[in-house]
Structure 1
Amino acid sequence: MFVFVFPSSLAVSAQEQGGAVEMQVTPLFGGNYARGKWLPLSIVLRNSGAATEVLVAVSIPNAQVRNTLTVNLAGGAEQRVVLYAAMDDQTRELRVSLEQGATVLVEQRLEVRPRSGERIMALVAERPLQLQLPLRQELFELPFLPLNQPLNELPDQLAGLSSLALIFFNDSDTSALTPAQLDALSAWVSSGGHLVLGGGPGAERSLAGLPPTLVAAALGPERALDTSFLGSYADAPPPAQLSGITLQPITGTLTFGPNDAPLWAQRDLGYGRVTQLAFDPSALGAWPGGPQLWDRLLIPPLIIRLPTGVEFSPDYAREQLASAAVLNLPTVNLPNSTPLFLLLAIYTILIGPGIALLLRRYDRQALGWFVLPTTALLTALIALGIAVSLRADERVISSVTLVEQVGDTVARARTFTGMVSPRDELVALNAPASALVRPLRAISGGFGSVEGLNGDIAQQQEQFPVPIVPWQLRGVFGDDLVEFPALDVQLTFGQAAIQAVVRNTTGRTLNAVVILYGEQLVRVGDLAPGEQVVKTWPPASGLGEGYPIGTAASAIVLADEREANLGVGGRLTREFLTRQQLLDAAVSRGSLDPAEGPLVFAFLESTPLALDFAADGAARNSTTCLH
């Protein structure tokens, strides 16, 4: 049976008039989203009046936080913008408003639909792609939800692709993709996405603009394909004939089918996968075995089963662990007490022998009743002034960052930051305009609990105010792709031993660099920019040494530091706990076993994605882990 895309089943577009400004809102992917992800909204603004500035805001009903975007509209202009809505688990409606100052020009509602454990698949094709997918009732789990997606509207933010389990390019000219779209696509695959590339006559167009990392095979001449292999993927006999192209797999690619002309090739990239077909998928439209083939072939590379549902990426688990690391707050900055001690010493000298000797010398002992109280009063006033001027700023800020390499020059950075203040205040948050920011997920830990925040969170804006509630840890986390040259790590095979060659090509100082594979650890140490270190792999170990199978990565990496970081009562220091939780977050895959590696970890002196509360004088700590 053919499954057609039916985005019109949802309220995918709404248009309203607000004075001289008209707004049309269309949620991408037909309003379907994976739980807790982002949903991009395509918004067209038409201004028939004079130049003006408007605010577009989106919120979940009854929520106290909004995602906003400020737009400068020229007179008589039409402008398309994309606003990202931070979704929860069950929302079926969004409220979008167009505002000017304190006036709401337009407010409208959009129907959206949460999808849990469904294979949301974007079909990017010049002509409608008809796949013979299995029906929902025919599958025990992971039903398909195919949605047509124009190439030019493919999100250029990783967050915009986060709801998708699969993206299928077929006879679509990918050379039209922008660098930002390609970076987002590469990062999406590395994070657990499955990219499928159609073959046949349109294969060259589908590969035209893709980087080598997203291609599994070079293209050869057209030929008739041997279809007998398809019989192992379905109960039906293979199709009698199938034409396609010859796939010439690159290094590290698995092929399926005859060696001289495979039917498809696959390569893994991070947690995700690229599948490249030799044939046009539409050619199997009449084959009865099509549903079984696509069910087995179009599978998410990573399936994480949690009590709350199924996830196709480790993002949720990592966000939970990283948010918990924010709870390791620094201690309050203590004031400099030296001026008070000096004042006390001077007062002691004066009130003791100093004034008495002075009055006796001038034979004015009778003035003692006035001089002594006056000196005490003046000293108290001076002490009060010093205490007020040197009083401690009781605000504390904690920030952690995970940096994950997703390309040769691009990394995904996620920064989690929280602040505690003794008073109600509105604090400016500085963030890169390209980063998407949302409230921290609520979580409790040994040092208290962390909450999100209320108010407006601006997008494409470098600073916006954040309301802080007294004595409550409130915070946000930001997600962005940043320019970050990849660390050069190679394993070389010699006659005597295997060597790990590590060269710091990041342009930053790297601290505590380690290489981990399973329970085998090599400590590289600190690396200055451009520095190279060669280590023997695996490390030599004696009888009875080493770590048991299944030992947590953080326990292995930080084993040598544990004793030195035991504080009063045998409690580990907060700095140690922060590094431990970041390492756990880096390898976490939810309910699945942690990633084994080989993995490279390092700690950076500064974060490439700074989310900074403008609070001068506040105590701060910041930890950044590269993995």
Structure 2
Amino acid sequence: RTRAAVAFVSLDDLPTAPAAWNSLDILILNDVDTGQLNGAQQTALTQWVETGGQLVVTGGPGWQKTAAALTDLLPVALSGSESVDDLPALRVAGGTPFRDPGPYVVASSSLRSGELLVHQDGLPLLARQPWGRGQVYFLALDPKLAPLVDWDGSQALWGLIAGDTPQPPYWGAGFRNGYAAGEAVSALPGLALPSALALGLFLLVYVVAVGPANYVILNRIGRRELAWLSVPALVLLFSILAYFTGFQLKGNDVVVNQMTLLHGPLGGDTVRAQTLLGLYSPRRSRYDLTLPGDALARPFERTYGAIGGAGHIDQVTRGGDLVIENVRVDVSAVETFIVNSYQPAPAIAGSATLGLAGGSVILEANVQNNGDVTLENATLLIGGRAISLGDMPPGDSASTRTAVGAAAASGGSPALAPGGFGIIPPPGSGAPLTNNAATILGTSNYYEEPVAQARYQLLSAVDESFYGGSSSVHVPGDVVTLVAWAQTPQLDARIDRDSYDSLATTLYLLEMPLTQGLVAGNNVSLPLALLNWSIFEESGVYEATPQNLFLSEAAVAFEYVPWREFQRMSVTDLTLVVLPESSQLSQPPPDLSLWDWEQALWQPVPDAGWGETVVVDYGRYLGENNAVRLRIATPTYGVQIGEVYPQLTGELD
């Protein structure tokens, strides 16, 4: 993130609806009486932190009122305040001397949990503890008073806090493709159009009945002059038949369909939810749609690009419930809405460990379904790789022990797995959900199966905002994500009718911490699955990703950084892997260049071709945290690259 916006708010401005907090990244509470927060605000604050918010609570003279309602969240146990003449540890952290002389008022405390970022002889000055996906900081001074108020080092202090804000996975932004979202929630079972075969048979019977059959019958009875009556009668009969058939196909019942993306840390109390809501009506009518009062809702239209649109409603009111009033639905149409809410975390437990065995990097994971719903097509997502666990009924557990990378062979060259280099994720646009759709949906025939097709559109609504662009996606490298489906509603959605049908689908994306079980001294080779990547620069590329990359007189440069577990690895070998698509074997390979961190320029890689190219004198191409920048260019029209990445081999410290 390169830009930030700051808003100054009072406690009264803090919303009671938890989902309204999603627009905040960091909240600083300074010299305010948090005891004035009502119960709904306190609950919303806690849920916001647990699902990814960053809370900063300050001390100074007003420490007591500021921490009044937050003692359970703080990483420290507060005991009072004291005056100190100097804070040399803080000066060192800020890198510059104070402008104002002491004494300074500091809130006295002791570390209860978490870690001390800055302390003066054991007195916490800045402490932090994780809270779910979020974090809570305690700053023992008042930033409006000395020494912080006009200190040049304050920027470094706040930069330490803001810079530590974790980047959420890309699906944390929710649905971003309006067309795919509309297609998903509008795909209702039983409302599909008749097949081409059925239409063809109907037309064939109609033509035969009106033409040859009508003639044969009238000719046999010797009354061919009656054709002026029989032909219109048959046309009317078939028209009535077609009308009633169509009426039955479109259904007679109003349908409320909800499809929810549920994401957050596994084992927490609360997760964030975003729901696509579709209201189908077989005839033109108006409805009032009622939702829980702590939800946020707005209409959207089925258009390409970002989700937006005014819809066909009068207004949205909030009392005990949230009511979308006077929703106007046309004949056999679906009005669509997007709803943000917080939901109780599902009762699912799990653990994941990355280790070494038999020359391979091994993922060992276990998932336990302690809830009362069946998890359909449960899948583990690690980097760009999906591992199927199958269906998990209530009370069921599933385990996997799967190779996700290969250790180097004794001669120092990377070991090859059957069919490729290490473990290679499926090719695609760089969006892991749709890339692995066959595994996540449990079928590769999702274009033909109605339920699977709707679920595929739901995945596309998350992923396809990146289609045709040059955006990289962030998949956390220190977690394994559980992906699963359930046919359970997350919202109590009602309309002002006595009779209507309700449909529900939930997509779970729940993150399990990944434990480092790797031991020192092993020669390990990292595949693309264990590298995070981003675009460094690009020119003329339609869709820039390290997989399924199409280049036509264009160039792109990626920056690859190993997962955190491998960022301190002592690299002993750098090999460039460039895999062609099977249909491109006769094409010349692209030109490769590596970024020289010492000279700050691109260096061409001589004799680079398809497959593996070993890089000599590789040290100058390794940046901080073993980062590697690789540039791919081609003057040739239509070169399709299946996969391109730097394969690092080394010793784990």
Superposition TM-score tier, normalisation by shorter sequence: 0.5 to 0.7
- 1:558 counterpart = 2:433: no
Offset from partner CA, 1:100-146 (integer Å, 9 cap, x none) = xxxxxxxxxxxxxxxx94222xxxxxxxxxxxxxxxxxxxxxxxxx3
Contact 1:422 1:471 in 2 (8 A): yes
Query: Counterparts of 2:389 and 2:444 in 1: how far apart (Å)?
Result: 20
1:244 aligns with 2:107: yes
The CA RMSD over aligned residues, in Å, is 5.5
Question: Is residue 87 of structure 2 the alignment partner of residue 227 of structure 1?
Answer: yes
Aligned to 1:501: 366
Conserved in 1, the CA contact under 8 Å of 2:183 and 2:457? no
Q: 1:322 to 1:377 in 2, by over 3 A?
A: closer
- Partner of 1:455: helix, strand, or coil? coil
Shift of 1:518: 2.8
CA distance in 2, matches of 1:323, 1:434: 27
**Once the 2 structures are TM-superposed, how far is the Cα of residue 540 of structure 1 from its aligned partner?**
7.4
Deviations 1:388-437 (A, max 9, x none): 33324559997542112378333322112457889865355353343221
AA paired with 1:564? S
TM-fit CA distance, 1:286: 7.2
The 8 Å contact of residues 450 and 474 in structure 1, kept in 2 or not, is answered as no
Deviations 1:473-502 (A, max 9, x none): 753211122334353223479998874232
Q: 1:315 to 1:175 in 2, by over 3 A?
A: farther
- Give the direction of change, closer, same or farther, for the CA distance of 1:432–1:233 in structure 2 (3 Å limit): same
What is the aligned partner in structure 1 of residue 516 from structure 2?
none
Which one-letter code corresponds to 2:6 in the other structure? R
Is the CA contact (8 Å cut-off) linking 1:505 and 1:529 kept in structure 2?
yes
What is the rounded CA distance, in whole Å, between the counterparts of 1:315 and 1:606 in structure 2? Answer: 20
Q: How does 1:271-350 map to 2 (within 5 A)?
A: 272-281=134-143, 283-284=145-146, 288-289=150-151, 291-292=154-155, 295-296=158-159, 299=162, 317-321=173-177, 324-328=180-184, 329-330=186-187, 332-334=191-193
- Contact 1:510–1:604 (8 Å) recurs in 2: yes
Q: Is the 8 A contact 1:320 1:441 kept in 2?
A: no
Which residue in 1 is equivalent to 2:74? 215
Residue 618 of structure 2 corresponds to none
Secondary structure of 2:90's counterpart equals helix
Match for residue 246 of structure 2?
391
**Match for 1:230: what amino acid?**
L
Contact 2:177 2:460 in 1 (8 A): no
1:523 aligns with 2:388: yes
Check conservation: 1:514, 1:602, Cα contact below 8 A.
yes
Query: Secondary structure of 1:546's partner?
Result: coil
Q: Where do residues 129-278 of structure 1 align in structure 2 (5 Å cutoff)?
A: 146-150=8-12, 154-170=14-30, 174=34, 177-189=37-49, 193-199=53-59, 203=63, 206-210=66-70, 212=72, 214-219=73-78, 227-231=87-91, 232-237=93-98, 239=102, 241-251=104-114, 253=115, 255-258=117-120, 260-269=122-131, 272-278=134-140
CA contact (8 A) 2:51 2:272 kept: no
Task: Note the C-alpha offset of 1:276.
Answer: 1.1
Residue of structure 1 equivalent to 2:477: 596
In the alignment, structure 1 segments of 5+ residues that lack a partner are: 1-115, 121-145, 305-311, 358-364
* Gap change, CA 1:534 and 1:303, over 3 Å in 2: closer
**Change in CA separation of 1:374 and 1:484 when aligned onto 2, cut-off 3 Å:** farther
Q: How far off its partner does 1:444 sit?
A: 0.9
How high is the sequence identity, in percent, across the aligned residues? 21
1:452–1:475 Cα contact (<8 Å) kept: no
Tell me, what secondary structure is at the counterpart of 1:320?
Answer: coil
TM-score, normalised to structure 1, is 0.57
The CA distance in 1 between the partners of 2:236 and 2:363, in whole Å, is: 72
The answer to whether the 8 Å contact 1:222/1:244 transfers is: yes
1:178-216 CA distances to partner (integer Å, 9 max, x unpaired)? 44323321343356543111235655654454485x433
User: How many residues align structurally?
Assistant: 462
**Residue equivalent to 2:339:** 478
Secondary structure of the structure 1 residue equivalent to 2:314: strand
Q: CA, structure 1 residues 531+621, in 2 after alignment: closer, same or farther (shift >3 Å)?
A: closer
- TM-score for the superposition, normalised by structure 2: 0.55
- In structure 2, what is the Cα distance between the partners aligned to 1:589 and 1:263? 42
- Tell me the amino acid that sits aligned with residue 304 of structure 2: S
Contact 1:216 1:250 in 2 (8 A): yes
Equivalent in 420, 424, 447 of residue 547 of structure 1: 424
Work out the CA distance in 1 between the residues paired with 2:435 and 2:472. Answer: 21
1:402 to 247, 257, 261: 261
- Alpha carbons 1:317, 1:585 under 8 Å: kept: no
Paired letter, 2:187: P
Q: For residues 196-254 of structure 1, give each alpha carbon's deviation from its aligned partner in whole angstroms, at most 9, with x where no partner exists.
A: 11235655654454485x43334467667772122131523385555332331425x45
